[in-house]
Each structure stands twice: as structure tokens, then as C-alpha cells.
Chain A
Amino acid sequence: MSQLPVRPGRIRRAPEGFLTPEQVGDVAAGRRDFLRQAFAAASVTALGVSAAHAADGDPAILNLPEHSTSLGRPVAERPYGLPSQYEAGLKRRESPGLTRVAAASVSFAPLQGLFGIITPSGLHFERHHQGWHDIDPARHRLMINGLVKEARVYTMDDLMRLPSVSRIHFIECGANTGMEWGNVAVPTVQYTHGMLSCSEFTGVPLSVLLDDCGIDMKRAKFVLAEGADGSSMTRTIPLDRALDDVIVAWGQNGEMLRPENGYPLRLVVPGIQGVSWVKWLRRIEVGDQPWATKDEAVHYIDLLPDGTHRQYTSIQECKSVITTPSGGQTLLDRGFHNISGLAWSGRGKIRRVDVSTDGGRNWRTARLETPVLSKALTRFNIDWVWDGSPAILQSRAMDDTGYVQPTYRQLREVRGTRSIYHNNAIQSWKLAESGDVSNVQAY
């Protein structure tokens, strides 16, 4: 269990890192004389100032740090900026044992440390089916063929001249939270919900390109999207989706897509599971039947209790999760806390998010932070004063169709426990008296 004492926040006011666990106990027990001595001793040895001086206040204020008394570093020293060295722990990570081949695997976004709704491009989750490539954009082509008047080819030069749109959308893998269908399996929100990201994408609406090729609206029912990588990943998309808000995108958060996210071209299919957002997009075919490709006939099919598989399950239904505090974290102290999380729906906008701290008995409505956009992550926050007693934290989202995120019990009653995909159940985090938060399923 955690090394932190019951009310660790109290001792954080002293200089960091010089108290032993026993001394921490003394502080918690109110033996303040000791604290003054330790404070002074640490100041003398570690910081080289007088004991009297340190006792006047926080050495972080009283002793000017080097960054306040020296020259800083020049512009363009790092021409492409990087996060602070102190942020190194927040990075995408694999879940050990989930897959055996790193080229056909997943890395999860560190949702436990992210703010707002935009995922930094370098922290966007990854899912590759046969490894990633960094493709020369000058050699990349997009072809559109099938039920069109004329099969056409576009270069990146062509595409980037067309009228473009920029829209913020979430992308969630259909298997996100898939490890938890049967039981609690992983410790933190990075691993339970981290196959989720949200970016501003820039590109040309697919409808513009289909129109440019003279799509045969009488016969066309579906389109097939195909990647240029070794797996040439393919997915069928119904025509009404394809003509609605689908984007052939090259931009992500103000710059080009990252190679791991499909540079130089990917499909953005708002509200639909990530596998349909084909990366390194090379071809769109227009047809009148679904294709039953490997990733819609062998994988991404949902096993039901009666032994059938649902095929072409695509919509990411309304879902939410509390990211702070969340599994594997310890609250520093009792008192005021901002419970913060993310909500999203593949069917539209988030209308409301309710939060419970007693395992679902009573709920309070959280604040939705702007912007609240269709098929995008929405950040919610709610004030909370923790009195130090055990609690179970949950969030429950509702979208603008009126659909309410279900409990595990409700989900399993219909879909059983053997599926891998489309688990959008309410997540529970158990908070112990120690301040430790852990992953549980309460229903």
C-alpha cells in the first residue's frame, strides 16, 4: 500500500524529502517541536541558510532559487518544444501481457494526468495492426473507385488545395475498457480507458471527394476505407455516415498528423470506433454491399450470451469516467477536491453528467466545461469536500438523445460478460480512508 500517511498534505508544507516515516508520524501526532528542529536542520544542511531564517517561513520563498538569480536558456534551443523534464511520468504505455507482438498492439493515453479535452498529439493512444510507418507525403496517393462515374487519384498537393474543415472529435477504440468485461483487471484509468483521445482534425469532407468522382447515388450503399500500410486495414462504412461528417484528414491539433496516427492522411469517422478511422488512407471504394473484412468479421465482433456475434457494431455509445481522482492514485489530504473527468457520445453532444460519491445511491449534477461539442470529449468538474471516510466515486453521462450510460449490471444483463468490445459501463473508483484510490466494480 501507499507509503503516505493519513493526512500527507499537512507535512508537504515542510521542505520536501527530509522526514522519515517515523518523523512523519510525529507530525501527524502533533509533536511540533520536533518539526521545528527538523525543519531547521534540513535547511542548514541542504540549503545552507541559518536556522532562524528557515523558521520564518518556506525556504522555497525565502531562499531565491537558481532560476530567479541566473540567466535562462535561449530561444530555439529546442526548435520543436518538449514537455518539462518533471512531466516524464505522463506518457503512453503498454499494458503488460495484453499482446505479444509490439507491432500489433496498443499503447494507452495517460488520462490520469490530462486536462481539458484535447489530447496532446504525442500522447494520443496508438493501435497498429501491422506496425507504423513514416510515409513520404510526396509519394502518398488517395484513390477513389467503385460505383463512381470516374475513378480518381489525388496527391497530397491536390487534397490540401481543396476546401477544408477543422473539427474537434474524440476517437475511442471499440475495445477500450475491454479488459474489464468480466472482472476488474487493470489498476489505473490509463489502462481502463486510455484507448481514448480527442483532437482537432483538419481535412476535406469525404462527401466533397465522393461528389468530385461522381458517386452513383442510386446504387451506392457503403464505402470501404483502406490503409497503405502492410495490413492495408479495411473497414466498411455505411453511406449515410460517409456523406455526413466524415473527414479525409491531414491535420491534427494545428500540425500534420503524427506518423503513429496515420501521417500523412487518415479517415476521421466521428462517433465511430477507432478501427474505422483508417490510417495512412490510400483508397476509398464505393459499393453496394458490406465487405466483411478481417477487422469486421474476425475481430471487432461482439460475442453475446446466445453464442451469436454482433457484426458491424460501430457506434461508441455514451460513456464517461472520472480521471481525477482515479485508480492507483492517493489523495494528499481530506478537505476540498475538484472531481474531474471526461464524457463523450458517438451519437451527439453530452447533455449532462452526474457524479456519485456513495456508490450510486445519490447523485449530483456536475459542471460541463465549454466547449460542449458533438462527438467530442466534454470535460466535467464538480466540487467535493472529502471528510476522510471511505467513498465510491462514479460518473454517469447522458447524451442529447436522452440515453443514460448504463451500470455493469444492466450491460451484462443484455450482452453477457464474454464480449471484448463496447463496454461503456459506469466506472467505480473506491477511495479508502488512507486516501488510496483503487479500481472496483460496484453495481
Chain B
Amino acid sequence: MSRLTELALVAALMFGATGSHAAGRYEGIGRAATPAEVKAWDIDVRPDFKGLPAGSGSVDHGMEVWEAKCASCHGTFGESNEVFTPIVGGTTKEDIETGRVGAYIRGDAPQRTTLMKVATVSTLWDYIHRAMPWNAPKSLSVDDTYAVLAYILNLGEIVPADFVLSDRNIADVQKRMPNRNGMTTRHGLWDVKGKPDVKNVACMKDCRTDITIGSSLPDYARDAHGDLSAQNRTVGPVRGQHTGNATAAAAIKPHPALELMKKNGCSGCHGIDSKVLGPGFREVAKRYKDDKGAESSLSARIRKGSSGNWGDVAMPAQSQVSDADLGALVKWILSGSPEN
């Protein structure tokens, strides 16, 4: 053994190769985490279910939680494509048997749903528990999380309607996930030294003669991004092209409430004229036209959530909207939602 190798070995032993050196080598910096602190933040659940807390929830209870907290964005059956891409759909009984989603192999999937993609059921438990509902993340209890997941799995016909999902049977459910055999890590894009799968050579002269324009920008796509002349500098070697009915758009200034509507996430569920999941704003204005108390009652319903006034889909509480935005939005909605 050379002197250098010996030194390297000693250094490796001293600095963590065996995990034997004391933590906290920078004096006065950092401190040990308490067990309660680790428990509060270490909420991740792995595919081998490490980190999964004990608990259970039924499909039936899941449906109740779903209708109250999830359906407004995802639709009653997890099928909605209005706000987010659908969770449920596109998988078959055969997929559950084989663990491969046939729609991909046939190439006839119009859209990829969550259940068509996800290979590991732990992923869904972890994500629902850490990040849902959308505007109140981490508010679901452990049992409610099991219940909501049971409901989703039932919609996908992965578990029966009388199923109670728990930490004791979730490993069996994993064996029925429709795309459980559909993932691969055999590629060169994880390791920085991984082997690239696509190869080109740097030809310099007379490289090929069959060059074709395979695809060009359609006119509607060019105009869909506003006036490109206003997205470029006014000096220099180029100017932006005039697109998207530039003059008409510049003359009419959009109403500032449209920006508030977008910023506060209202447009996910409401159109101005049209019903999305909730009513169109002009329908609301029409209904409360003669109601003098409409401003305060509408504010309260947005703030605290509301159900039963406009159909089956409940509106969740919108605690994230500032008082100023809320006031401006309610006034604008009741005035008929002018667009400029």
C-alpha cells in the first residue's frame, strides 16, 4: 500500500466513510433537530411505503371528502379536464392485470390521466397528503388521505366500492396499479456520465440534400401570442412583427379585475359569460340584481366557501384572496363584469 493510499484511507475513515465522526463540525452553527421537529416535516412516503403512517379510509368516506374538497377542481368522478388534467380514465381491467396501459401501446390515448401514468400508489398518497387540497395544502388527516385515495382507486376500478384502504393492504393495491410495469430507468439521462441515446455528427459541408420544411407556424399560433412588435426592442438589428390584431388590442385596455380574477385563481372554475364548474359571473350578477345585501353575502360566500346555490359542485373557501381584491372582485362581478 502506498503512503498516499494509506493517507486517503485514514482520511476516509475520519470523515464519514463509516459515519463515525461527530456531527456539527462548524462551531456555533446549526443544532440537532428534535424528534418532534423531524416528525413534523418528514412526511414523505416511498414506494416501499417507508414513511407511511398507520390509518385507513373507505371508498364511501372518500367520496364525501372528495365532494367537499376535491370535486370543485377535479370533477365529481376525477374526470374533469377543466382546471387540471384528468386523474381518472383511460385504464382497463386488462391493464390492471398486466401492469401496462394498453392505450400507450396502441397509441390511441387522447390524453394521459394520472392513473394511466403513475406506477407507484405511494406517489398518490404522498402527494395528496402533502399538497392537497389546492388552496389548503396539508389540511387532510391521515385517514381522510386514505379515504380520498380509496375513492380515486375505486373510480379507476382498481379497488371495489366497499373497499377500506389501509397501511396493511396498500401493498396489495400496488400489485393492481395499471401502469406499474410501464416505467423504465434504463436510459442515460439520470447519470451525468450516462450514455446519450441520440447521436448526431458535426458534418460541415454539403451535408444533406433532402432538407424539407417539416412544419411551419400556423397563422393562428402566430397571432395567439399577442402583438410580437411589442415584445421586442424598438432599436437594434430587428423589430418584432405586427401580429394578433395589434391596433385593436392596444386601443382597448382590459379591466383590471380580469387580472385579479386570474391572480386569485377564480378563472379555474368561473367564466365571465359561461359556466365552467361554477356559474358564469354575469349569471351571478343577474340573480342578485335587486338584492341590496348581495355585496356582503357574496363576499362571505367566497371567503368561507359555499354550496347548493348553483348546482352540485361546492365552492371551497378562498382564504388566499386579500380583502382588497375580494372587495374589488365582488363589486366588479355585481356590476356585470365589464371587460374593459
Contacts and interface: CB of A to CB of B under 8 A. Distances in A.
Interface of A: 1-4, 8, 86-87, 89-90, 93, 95-97, 100-104, 110, 112-113, 129-131, 143, 145-146, 148-154, 158, 161-162, 183-188, 190-191, 211-218, 224, 226, 230-232, 234, 238, 240-241, 244, 271, 282-283, 285, 287, 289-294, 297-298, 301-304, 306-315, 317, 324-325, 327-332, 337-338, 346-347, 352, 354, 359-363, 392, 396, 398, 403-408, 410-411, 413-415, 422, 430, 436-443
Given A101-B265, A102-B262, A150 B24 contact: yes
A298 B117 contact: yes
A15 to B, nearest CB: 15
A130 B73 CA distance: 14
Contacts of A317: 189, 196
Given A191-B225, A217-B17, A4 B26 contact: no
Contact of B42 (A283, A314, A337): A283
Interface string B205-242: 11111011111111001101110101111101111111
Given A102-B265, A154-B30, A398-B202, A149 B228 contact: no
B213 A331 contact: no
A214 B21 contact: yes
B250 interface: no
A297 B123 contact: yes
Contacts of B243: 187, 328
Contacts of B134: 130
Contact of B232 (A113, A145, A354, A443): A113
Nearest to A305: B107
B179 to A, nearest CB: 8
Contacts of A290: 46-47
Nearest to A241: B192
A196 B332 CA distance: 37
B234 to A, nearest CB: 6
A148 B117 contact: no
Contacts, number: 357
A60 B246 CA distance: 28
A292 B44 contact: no
Contact of A143 (B26, B38, B124, B228): B38
Contact of A231 (B16, B131, B226): B131
Contacts of A143: 33, 37-38, 41
B200 A396 contact: yes
Contacts of B208: 360-361
Given A101-B83, A130-B137, 20 more contacts: A93-B231, A100-B268, A102-B263, A112-B240, A130-B134, A145-B38, A158-B30, A184-B216, A185-B217, A215-B16, A234-B126, A240-B192, A293-B123, A354-B204, A360-B207, A363-B205, A410-B199, A439-B216, A440-B215, A443-B212
Contacts of A8: 239
B216 A285 contact: no
B48 interface: yes
Contacts of B237: 324-325, 331-332, 337-338
A234 B44 contact: yes
Nearest to A113: B233
B118 interface: yes
A30 to B, nearest CB: 23
B200 A324 contact: no
Contacts of B131: 129-130, 230-232, 294
Given A97-B224, A338-B237, A293 B211 contact: no
A361 to B, nearest CB: 5
A331 to B, nearest CB: 6
B56 to A, nearest CB: 22
A8 to B, nearest CB: 8
Contacts of A407: 200
Given A212-B23, A214-B23, A309-B184, A184 B221 contact: yes
17 contacts: A4-B239, A145-B38, A149-B19, A152-B23, A213-B23, A232-B137, A238-B190, A240-B192, A271-B192, A309-B117, A311-B119, A313-B190, A338-B237, A398-B202, A406-B199, A414-B198, A430-B216
A238 B191 contact: yes
Nearest to A352: B202
Interface stretch (B98-106, B149-157, B161-169, B303-311): B98-106
A396 B204 CA distance: 11
B192 A309 contact: no
Contacts of A161: 26, 28-29
B119 to A, nearest CB: 6
B240 A328 contact: yes
Contacts of B28: 161
Sorted nearest first, the 8 A-B pairs with minimum C-beta distance are A307-B104, A150-B23, A230-B137, A294-B127, A329-B238, A328-B228, A313-B189, A307-B105
A152 B187 contact: no
